[in-house]
Amino acid sequence: MFRKSGSFSQLMEMDCCSCFGFIKKPKRSLRPVSISDSWFSRECLLNDNLEDSFLYNGESTNIPNECDSGQHNRGKSFEEIFVLRSKNGTICREVPVKETHRLVRTEDENGNKMVNEYVRECKIGSGSYGKVVLYRNNMDGKPYAIKVFHKSHLLKLRVAPSETAMTDVLREVSIMKMLCHPNIVNLIEVIDDPNTDQFYMVLEYVEGKWVCEGSGPPGGLGKSTAKRYLRDIIAGLMYLHAHNIVHGDIKPDNLLVTSSGTVKIGDFSVSQVFEDDNDELRRSPGTPVFTAPECCLGLTYHGKAADTWALGVTLYCMVLGQYPFLGETLQDTYDKIVNNPLSIPEGIDPQLKELLEGILCKDPEHRLTLDAVAGHPWVVDEEGPIPQYLCFCKSKKFLDPKESISNAYMTSID
């Protein structure tokens, strides 16, 4: 059984979540949508192999899917946005993602399975809708994390009346094709042979672990480590939001740490891309304990503010080693997120306390913005302001046409 305070081993697999499809209503006090507690036991919340329940984001949930699409009924689809950005030169990649349409499955001289030039080493995890396997490229010797999907399975999983899991995977691919940032996991190649059922996403392999692994209660990470990690997460998230992309599932186990200590944001399986600054959403994917109060309601909400809340929950986990709001059931967890006051232990750094209270403000209109978080005294401290990243698509405005394209990558500007 689980303690109410919660530890990092609790509910990290709780990727099941509600998906509300209500129309926007007048403002009212925060009150969670009623969900029968009998639908969810702790065992169900922690089990991602329940084939008979509804599936969302590759994880188990028994909540009927009532939403119509990821974005509110407006604007262009992710395919249209990707095409438009490609035409406008607003893709942040000097080298496009490699697209391979021929799959050859063989074995090397040691009997190890191969996919094209990649040699299988071991399974390293389970991602949304599929597994993640460590492969090594037999040409350059580098390791890669490869997400493996079965197209027939994705097409059977309905995540909305007009969308299947395949839609989510294709959206993830489209979004990652746009991105290039030192704090974002890089997509290297997509292998999609029309004559086979397998679909592969070849990703940069991050040799470290997720940001909270091994910390556990009590105490979480040390102040300096938590602050360093937070600054990296903020930098990556600011980049995403500047490109009108909402991650949708910021949490410790989607945040990988390299051997040099750099945090990279991964898993864009529930992310959304917008054509402008209107980030209004209906569908609320992600992990329940990291869900913002407004996402627990039958209302539309703003994705960037919800990402910022999840960042706050992640910071709380990193510094205190537990979740701020955790119930015995999914409904109980949502009730606490919406109604319970934030509890912060006595003796905590006053600036950190102020920061946590600002990020975990239940009213999204009064919650700290991501820019405000980046400029908060606890975050800035001795390290100074978080460097602004001048990405490839933005840097084109500043480059002389004769300059080398490689000079487009500048890590900071004054």
Residue 249 annotated in active site: yes
How large a percentage of the chain has pLDDT more than 90?
55
pLDDT greater than 70 at residue 290:
yes
For 13-55, the DSSP string reads T--------PPP-------PPP--GGG--HHHHH-S--TTS-E
Average pLDDT over residues 330-337: 94
Which band of pLDDT confidence, cut at 50, 70 and 90, is reported for residue 5?
Answer: very low
Q: Which domains does the chain have, with CATH numbers?
A: 37-65+207-380 (1.10.510.10), 78-204 (3.30.200.20)
CB 291 within 8 A of CB 186: no
How large a percentage of the chain has pLDDT more than 70?
73
The HSE-up count of residue 364 (CA atoms within 13 Å, CB side) is 22
- The answer to whether the annotation marks 336 as part of a ligand binding site is no
Which band of pLDDT confidence, cut at 50, 70 and 90, is reported for residue 18?
Answer: very low
pLDDT greater than 70 at residue 155:
yes
Nearest alpha-carbon partner for 219 in 299, 112, 320: 320
Nearest alpha-carbon partner for 6 in 218, 212, 255, 230: 218
Question: What's the confidence (pLDDT) of residue 303?
Answer: 93
Distance from C-alpha of 55 to C-alpha of 66, rounded to nearest angstrom: 13
Query: Which residues 6+ apart lie within 8 Å of 370 measured at CB?
Result: 234, 237, 238, 241, 304, 307, 308, 311
> Mapping DSSP to helix (H, G, I), strand (E, B) and coil, where does residue 275 land?
coil
For 130-174, the DSSP string reads EEEEEEEETTT--EEEEEEEEHHHHHH-EEETTEEHHHHHHHHHH
What is the enclosing helix (H) or strand (E) of 187? strand 187-192
Which band of pLDDT confidence, cut at 50, 70 and 90, is reported for residue 309?
Answer: very high
pLDDT greater than 90 at residue 184:
yes
Which band of pLDDT confidence, cut at 50, 70 and 90, is reported for residue 189?
Answer: very high
CB 91 within 8 A of CB 233: no
CB 336 within 8 A of CB 324: no
pLDDT greater than 80 at residue 380:
yes
Q: What share of the chain is helix, strand, coil (3-state, %, to 5)?
A: 30, 20, 50
- Category of 354 on φ-ψ map: left (φ > 0), alpha (ψ -120 to 50) or beta: alpha
pLDDT greater than 90 at residue 246:
yes
Rg for the chain, CA atoms, rounded: 21
CB 409 within 8 A of CB 106: no
Question: What's the confidence (pLDDT) of residue 210?
Answer: 65
Distance from C-alpha of 226 to C-alpha of 223, rounded to nearest angstrom: 5
Question: What's the confidence (pLDDT) of residue 137?
Answer: 97
Report pLDDT digits (tens) over 196-222. Answer: 999 999 999 998 766 665 444 445 788
Rounded to the nearest integer, the mean pLDDT of the chain is 78
pLDDT greater than 50 at residue 401:
no
pLDDT greater than 70 at residue 37:
no
Query: Chain centroid to CA 96: how far?
Result: 22
From the list 249, 253, 267, 335, the catalytic residue is 249
Query: Which residues 6+ apart lie within 8 Å of 352 measured at CB?
Result: 223, 319, 378
Which band of pLDDT confidence, cut at 50, 70 and 90, is reported for residue 405?
Answer: very low
Report pLDDT digits (tens) over 119-147. Answer: 999 998 886 688 999 999 999 999 999 99
Distance from C-alpha of 210 to C-alpha of 287, rounded to nearest angstrom: 16
Which pTM was predicted?
0.78
Question: What's the confidence (pLDDT) of residue 174?
Answer: 93
pLDDT greater than 90 at residue 337:
yes
Report pLDDT digits (tens) over 42-85. Answer: 333 323 332 222 222 333 333 333 334 444 445 678 788 888 88
